[in-house]
Amino acid sequence: MKLKIYLSLAFLVGVLSFAQEKKTEKPKFNQELATSLGADQYGMKAYTIVMLTTGTAKIEDKAKKGELMKGHMTNIGKLADEGKIVVAGPFLEKNKENYRGMFIFNTKSREEAEQWVKTDPAVQAGIFSYEIFPWYGSAALPLYLKHHEEISKENP
């Protein structure tokens, strides 16, 4: 019985060691991919984050507000299709800064990011205001978008 336990433990340790070795192998550097994504020597690049905050407009008409939010979602999709927006999403909890959501734009230009955020109907209507911040992150970030449609059953 002890022999079986020792053999099982030895097998488990061997499997875990192999899995650990496999996990730590570094993928081969791909210069073509790095260049196409605008990566620096660390695989990073500059982006611009736009934090959407609660705006000053108080729109009571639910149909009008619904129409503006539909336009907001359509605009996000358009900007993503154009490669301008890399990440977008709402915050799930209220916070003291009144942040409602955020965009990560594929630009290091504050001015360009501001032009893009101003195309949002909800921003134009004052439902959202915004703050802009420079950010440094993985140049591979835009690659997740091509897989998002493969894992989402519905589009809001």
List the domain boundaries for the chain: 2-28, 34-151
End-to-end Cα spacing for the chain = 58
8 Å CB contact between 153 and 61: no
* pLDDT band at residue 18 under the 50/70/90 scheme: low
For the segment(s) 34-151, the CATH number from 1.10.260.40, 3.40.190.10, 3.30.750.24, 3.30.70.1060 is: 3.30.70.1060
What per-residue confidence (pLDDT) applies to 146? 76
**pLDDT at 53 > cutoff 80:** yes
8 Å CB contact between 107 and 127: no
8 Å CB contact between 87 and 48: no
Query: Residue 36's closest CA among 110, 142, 150?
Result: 142
Mean of pLDDT values over 43-72: 96
Query: Residue 135's closest CA among 70, 45, 54, 62?
Result: 45
CA dihedral 72, 74, 80, 85 (to 10 degrees): -10
Query: Residue 119's closest CA among 64, 63, 62, 81?
Result: 81
**pLDDT at 82 > cutoff 50:** yes
What per-residue confidence (pLDDT) applies to 9? 44
Mean of pLDDT values over 101-119: 97
**pLDDT at 76 > cutoff 90:** yes
Round the CA-based radius of gyration of the chain to a whole number and report it.
23
Mean of pLDDT values over 126-152: 90
Q: Which of the pair, 83 or 146, is modelled with greater confidence?
A: 83
Share of the chain above pLDDT 90, in %: 71
**pLDDT at 90 > cutoff 90:** yes
pTM of the model: 0.78
Token couple for 73: 């979602």
